[in-house]
Each structure stands twice: as C-alpha cells, then as structure tokens.
Structure 1
C-alpha cells in the first residue's frame, strides 16, 4: 500500500504541475516529508492523506488507485 500511495502522490502532484515545495506549502508540511512519502520511505497517516488530498483537490481514495494500464504508445521502447 505504501508504494501505491507513493506512486499516486507523485503522479497526482505531477498532473497538477506542482513542485514538492508547493504541495508542502499547501498541505502545511515539510518539503522533505513529501519527498519521503513519494519515495515510499514513510506511510502517511489518515490525517496526512486528508491534508494532501485537500491540497491536491482530490478524493483521498485516489491515493489507492491501481496504476493505469499502459498502451503500446505509452510504453517505453
């Protein structure tokens, strides 16, 4: 689960063109903590997932979504 949250946090943040610093400011946490979450070093608490979801304007459940299926165009050569 930790890796799913890490992957989805990184993806959602990137989709919104936010830096880790910008997300950290919005969620009122330290930038290095965002980095650690995205690397899967820590598990986020339910409270933290709520803060991050609010800062990213998504439902907290989006952090647990399976990775999107890749098409041939999306796959690396």
Structure 2
C-alpha cells in the first residue's frame, strides 16, 4: 500500500525561482494524484530526479521542465508562476 500523497507546505518560503518550480511541480503532481514514479515515467525521467526537483536540489534544464509540464498537461510557464 502506498503512502497518501501530500502537497507542498503552503508556508514554504519561496526564495528562488528554483523553489517556485519545486513547489509547483509537487502541487500539480499531487493535484493530479500522481506519484513521483508515475510523473517520472510519463515525462521519461527517473523518479529520483523528480524527487530532487521537488526538493529544489537540482538545476533543471528547460527541456526537462517542458517534459514535466507536458506530462502534467499544463503550460510550462505555469510552473514558474508564484503561488
């Protein structure tokens, strides 16, 4: 049995654009009830990479942002909008 999906903490300080991207990826993924593994599979990326993105641990290429946005069926620009 898998753990319930938990969205990002709304109290999180979003200092950098990387923080905003991390917050939004997780928020959209959870909203669509996708696991990191499912999002990774749909985007052609590894689950551990998705995890690192959601924790703002990696610098993500534009190509990978586009792949994740496509997998989430959203405009990539929405991933950079402050919540």
Unaligned runs of 5+ in 2: 1-16
- Choose which of 26, 49, 70 in structure 2 pairs with 1:54: 70
How many matched pairs?
67
The normalised TM-score by structure 2 is 0.79
Give the Cα–Cα distance (whole angstroms) in 2 for the partners of residues 43 and 5 of structure 1: 10
Match of 1:71 in 2: none
Q: Tell me which of 58, 66, 69 is aligned to 1:42.
A: 58
RMSD over aligned Cα atoms: 0.5
Matched, 1:4 2:20: yes
Query: Using CA pairs below 8 Å that are at least 6 residues apart, which structure has the higher relative contact order?
Result: 1
TM, length-normalised to structure 1: 0.85
Counterpart secondary structure, 1:14: helix
After TM superposition, the runs of 4+ consecutive aligned structure 1 residues lying more than 6 A away are none
Unpaired stretches in structure 1, ≥5 consecutive residues: 68-77
Instruction: Give CA deviations for 1:12-64 in whole Å, capped at 9, x if unaligned.
Output: 00110000000000001110000000000012110001100110000000111
